[in-house]
Amino acid sequence: MAGLTRRVLFLAATLALCAAPAAARVRPVAPILTTPDAVDVRSYAEPRRARVTHVDLDLAVDFASRTLRGTAALDVLAQRGVDEVVLDALGLQIEKVTTPAGRPLAWRLGARDGDKGAPLTVQLGGAKRIVVTYAAAPEASALQWLPPELTAGKAKPFLYSQGQPTLNRSWFPTQDSPGVRQTWTARLVVPEDLVAVMSGERLTPKGEPAGPGRRAYRFRMEHPVPTYLVALAVGDLALRELGARTGVYTEPAMLDRAAHELADTEKMVEAAEALYGPYRWGRYDVLVLPPAFPYGGMENTTLTFLTPTFITGDRANVGLVAHELAHSWSGNLVTNATWPDVWLNEGFTSYVENRIMEAIYGRERAVIEADLTWDGLQADIAELGGPADPRTRLYGEPGGQIDYFKGETFLRTLETLVGRARWDAYLRGYFDRHAFQPQTTAGFLADLRKHLVKGDAALEAKLQLDAWAYGSGLPDNAVHLRSPALAEVDRSVKAFADGAPAASLPAKGWTTQEWQRFLNNLPRKLSATQLADLDGAFGLSASTNGYVRSAWLELAIANRYEPALPSLRGFLGGVGRGLFVNPLYSGLMKQGDWGQALARQYFAETKATYHPSLAARIARTVAGQPER
């Protein structure tokens, strides 16, 4: 609670003294940060007046109608004299709101404002717990209902949720803001031949009878978490143990490949604990989803969701696993209070990921990945219009992957300037001090000054903290780790650009990261002969490595290289990961009539295979609308 004013401390005490239900009193209640920059404009909630502390979900999953239907029971902690609570709802079909005893409560659903949804205001009538009976609409933006043909097994349907940043309000009503941490339980009733998993403790791993042809699965999360971390999946799932507290869920057809790729997961947990303190969430399991999943991974507590595109057989892309695991400290344990503070989530996690990778795979690999981060940062700054553009700031609304790349570089710079031992001690203490709490950029800087700088004016000037957090571009103390291995790749880039045949390049044995450096650093304008030489020598159009193939296809699009179009069409129809497909659609749209016609054609063919949030973004791209 460092940095709270006396007024806020008084308010916290007042809330704590309010008559709350016995069940709510014994549950841990995380504080609400009330500094001016902690107001969440993406939520209708008014948590300083009345806040949700716990949610109990009881929902039936219906694949035929593509709906979730049931109840959400919410514990509400209200300031004395406040008799209403405001929730977030996006497309929810509200049937009624009552007390647990069934007494009706007055409620109203306000006007919808796009993806923000609508405020659901409930008159409490003295109640400390309310029950909302509702259904999530078939088009709920957090949910993707996959027909059997879009799964690995091709035999059974699949459902999963993706809630970050503000989509979970489309499948259950609550205060959907990262600063409002809540405990939760859930009961999911699903077809008996399917398995349900969620991002909490699995109380009934094998389910229990719930009527003809149905089984119920129950889950619990006893630590207060931000709402976006509540996640579910239902499908033909099997579990393979990876270690004493780690395992992988996926469809049986993918289980062997996934388990092979994830063999080092338990070691990663141990490495992270050695660096930053105990893993506080019990088990760490991974769910490998069908290809339609729009992200590389999602750090849902106890159950990371992963794209299958990371599986390449050589464990070259398990940095993705290290990243999502790292969120168990940065993001899940200490959470950005509002979305303009998101770099506290992603930038920290990218840095911790790199440290885990170094601990498991050695310094050379960590430096390779840090060097690629620098590449990505420079490319983003250029794409956003240069270092003066406000979208290159950490705090606010960063563009590209600035929150990841610049945030990671900021922390690496701090490590370098103060020394690793001192920095590690600080960061471990930071996670302990702020565990299970939201954090703001201002709060982090205050913590740095109190526990690391400690009034040292020379060190304060050396670190340039405010310039990093609030300034555009890069401060002049930014640390760039340079990889000798990637420097060798750079020589191959120059050789090929100067006319060397592809077959003469020392590419045999290159890792995914080396291929990315090569393809991304080639001149954007190459001849059809050069492109054919590359594809013929290395089979890039047929690559099963999504990182390599997407980088190749970006280059092909930039040169309107039509022999690669069948590969492009197949890739866009078989992969739903935004990191791969967004640049391809954007690249097509930059190619005038030729590319724009292809973008519209391919999107019309493939949009049904994409998660709703990704489909909406691509729709804006192919319509020529600006990013938002």
The pairing of beta strand 129-136 with beta strand 143-146: unpaired
* Average predicted confidence (pLDDT) for the chain: 93
- Hey, what's the torsion of the CAs at 331, 334, 338, 339, to 10 degrees? -20
396 vs 403: CA distance, rounded Å: 10
- List the single range of 32-41, 484-493, 529-538, 586-595 with lowest mean pLDDT: 32-41
> Per-residue b/e over 240-260, b at no fewer than 16 CB within 10 Å?
bebbebbbbbbbeebbebbbe
Q: Angle at Cα 9 formed by Cα 6 and Cα 13, nearest 5°? A: 140
- pLDDT for the residue numbered 627: 67
Q: Angle at Cα 400 formed by Cα 227 and Cα 198, nearest 5°? A: 25
167, 90 contact by CB (below 8 A): yes
- pLDDT for the residue numbered 4: 33
- pLDDT for the residue numbered 18: 36
Q: Is residue 408 part of a domain?
A: yes
446 three-class SS: helix
Q: Is residue 301 part of a domain?
A: no
320, 306 contact by CB (below 8 A): yes
275 vs 76: CA distance, rounded Å: 37
> Does residue 191 have a cis peptide bond before it, meaning omega lies within 30 degrees of 0?
no
121, 84 contact by CB (below 8 A): yes
Q: Is residue 256 part of a domain?
A: no
Residue with tokens 């930039």: 558
Q: Is residue 18 part of a domain?
A: yes
- On the question of pLDDT at 1 being above 90, the answer is no
Task: Tell me, yes or no, whether 496 and 459 share the same domain.
Answer: no
Task: Tell me, yes or no, whether 32 and 164 share the same domain.
Answer: yes
Residue with tokens 């992988």: 248
Residue 304, amino acid: T
Residue of 134, 228, 276, 404 marked active site? 404
351 is an active site residue: no
What is the DSSP secondary structure assignment for residue 104, as one 8-state letter? B
| 354, 430, 466 from 419: Cα distances, Å | 16, 16, 20
262, 242 contact by CB (below 8 A): yes
Q: Which domain holds residue 613?
A: 484-622
The two structure tokens encoding residue 211: 């009527």
Residue of 84, 324, 346, 415 marked active site? 324
Q: What is the pLDDT of residues 171-228, one digit of tens each?
A: 999 999 999 999 999 999 999 999 999 999 999 999 999 999 999 999 999 999 999 9
292 three-class SS: coil
Q: Is residue 495 part of a domain?
A: yes
Task: Tell me, yes or no, whether 94 and 214 share the same domain.
Answer: yes
470 is an active site residue: no
Q: Is residue 477 part of a domain?
A: no
Q: What is the pLDDT of residues 61-116, one digit of tens each?
A: 999 999 999 999 999 999 999 999 999 999 999 999 999 999 999 999 999 999 99
Task: Tell me, yes or no, whether 46 and 155 share the same domain.
Answer: yes
Task: Tell me, yes or no, whether 449 and 494 share the same domain.
Answer: no
Decide which of 177, 212, 229 is a domain's last residue: 229
Average pLDDT over residues 332-339: 96
The two structure tokens encoding residue 56: 């109990």
Task: Tell me, yes or no, whether 464 and 546 share the same domain.
Answer: no
Strands (E), 226-269: 232-235, 238-241, 246-250
Per-residue pLDDT band at 294 (split at 50, 70, 90) = confident
Task: Tell me, yes or no, whether 181 and 36 share the same domain.
Answer: yes
What is the domain count for the chain?
3
DSSP H or E segment with residue 184: strand 182-191
Q: Angle at Cα 481 formed by Cα 476 and Cα 485, nearest 5°? A: 145
- pLDDT for the residue numbered 20: 38
264 vs 159: CA distance, rounded Å: 28
628, 399 contact by CB (below 8 A): no
Plot region of 441 (φ>0 → left; ψ -120 to 50 → alpha; else → beta): alpha
Which residues sit opposite 57 in a β-bridge? Answer: 72, 186
Domain of residue 450, CATH code? 1.10.390.10
- pLDDT for the residue numbered 210: 97
Decide which of 425, 444, 470 is a domain's last residue: 470
Q: What is the length of the chain?
A: 628
- Can you state the percent helix, strand and coil of the chain, rounding each to 5? 45, 20, 35
Per-residue pLDDT band at 29 (split at 50, 70, 90) = confident
509 vs 488: CA distance, rounded Å: 13
Residue 264, amino acid: D
Task: Tell me, yes or no, whether 457 and 532 share the same domain.
Answer: no
Residue 555, amino acid: L
Q: Which residues 6+ apart lie within 8 Å of 148 measured at CB?
A: 154, 155, 156, 157
Domain of residue 136, CATH code? 2.60.40.1730
Decide which of 213, 229, 245 is a domain's last residue: 229
Task: Tell me, yes or no, whether 459 and 603 share the same domain.
Answer: no
DSSP labels, 296-356 = SEE--TTEEEE-GGG--SS-TTTHHHHHHHHTTTBTTTEEESSGGGTHHHHHHHHHHHHHH
Task: Tell me, yes or no, whether 48 and 177 share the same domain.
Answer: yes
Q: What is the pLDDT of residues 234-247, one digit of tens each?
A: 999 999 999 999 99
DSSP labels, 115-179 = GG-EEEEEE-TT-SEEEEEEEE-TT-TTEEEE-GGGSSSSSS-EEEE--TTTTGGGTS-B---TT
Q: Is residue 273 part of a domain?
A: no
Q: Is residue 128 part of a domain?
A: yes
Task: Tell me, yes or no, whether 436 and 495 share the same domain.
Answer: no
Task: Tell me, yes or no, whether 462 and 374 share the same domain.
Answer: yes
Per-residue pLDDT band at 35 (split at 50, 70, 90) = low
- On the question of pLDDT at 475 being above 80, the answer is yes
Q: What is the pLDDT of residues 415-430, one digit of tens each?
A: 999 999 999 999 999 9
Domain of residue 594, CATH code? 1.25.40.320
